[in-house]
Structure 1
Amino acid sequence: MRIGFSVPQFGPFADPDSTAAMCTALEALGCDSLWAADRLLAPLTPAEGYPGGQPMPVRYGTHLDPLLALAVAASATERVRLGSSTLNALWQPPLVLARALTTLDLISHGRLDVGIGLGWMREEYEAAGVPWQGRGARLEETL
């Protein structure tokens, strides 16, 4: 069985030194993979509602960028796979995203697994200056 964990990147764990130390410890314990999530905003009551009908977790109010958190994890580990779960691909131009992912794959010596999605919160799209409408077709083009 392979077991993966979230990269410590939210709330009190949104500290690069803590993230590095925890990733090193997880790898030493036999963890197979480390995964980073993608958030731009953390409104307590998003207009569309948080999935599951619950309030948005307060810990999301403080967060590290997922690709930079994975870079920290890459530098603190040697073996574990590193992945995004999921990266909201439309918040950056495709070429810029491709460059960042390629760089991260090089830094990690080929350990990167990329999960790409659309996200669910309109407020994040608005904050990124990206239209909500047509996002499915734009994701297809991005891929």
Structure 2
Amino acid sequence: MRIGFSVPQFGPFADPHRSAEMCTAMEALGCDSLWVADRLLAPVVPPDGYAGGKPMPVRYGTHLDPLLALAMAASATERVRLGSSTLNALWQPPLVLARALTTLDLISRGRLDVGLGLGWMHEEYEAAGVSWRGRGARLEETLDVLEAVWGPGTVVHTGALWR
């Protein structure tokens, strides 16, 4: 069995110095992986509801950027896998996302595992300036761009949304 923990990135633990110390300690205790989540907004009462219509947990009101939190965890650890569960892939252009993830994988010396998704909160898309409609097709093409960037040879992609 492998055991992973969340990188302390939300609420009172969203302090980079404390979070780095906690990542180091979790690795020393033998954990196998450290994971981040992706939150852009934390409305008190999300119009679409949260986990069955409940109010958003107060801890989500303070949050560290997931990729920067992983970079901090990478610098504070040597062995553990580092991952996102899940990173909202559509809030930035796919080429920018590919560059950030590639850089993070290099910083971590190949320890990065990436989970990508669509998210669930319409308001986060609006705040990011990204259309809620068509997100499934955008995710498919984003994955195509990532595959092209991380594949062998010259990067070539011609799609409906990006070229």
What range describes the TM-score normalised by the shorter chain of this pair? over 0.9
Is 1:47–2:72 an aligned residue pair?
no
Report the Cα distance in structure 2 between the residues aligned to 1:52 and 1:109, rounded to whole angstroms: 39
TM-score (norm 2): 0.87
Q: Give the CA deviation at 1:140.
A: 0.2
TM-score (norm 1): 0.99
Aligned to 1:24: 24
Structural RMSD (CA): 0.5
Matches within 5 A, 1:1-143: 1-143=1-143
Provide the secondary structure at the position in 2 that maps to 1:52.
coil
Unaligned 5+ runs, structure 2? 144-163
Report the Cα distance in structure 2 between the residues aligned to 1:22 and 1:8, rounded to whole angstroms: 7
Percent of residue pairs identical:
87
TM-superposition CA deviations, 1:100-136 (whole Å, max 9, x none): 0000000000000000000000000000000000000
Rg: which structure is higher? 2
Q: Give the CA deviation at 1:52.
A: 2.9
Report the Cα distance in structure 2 between the residues aligned to 1:120 and 1:82, rounded to whole angstroms: 23
Moved >3 Å (runs of 4+): none
Q: Give the CA deviation at 1:53.
A: 2.7
Unaligned 5+ runs, structure 1? none
Paired residue type of 1:37: A
Paired residue type of 1:69: A
Report the Cα distance in structure 2 between the residues aligned to 1:3 and 1:15, rounded to whole angstroms: 23
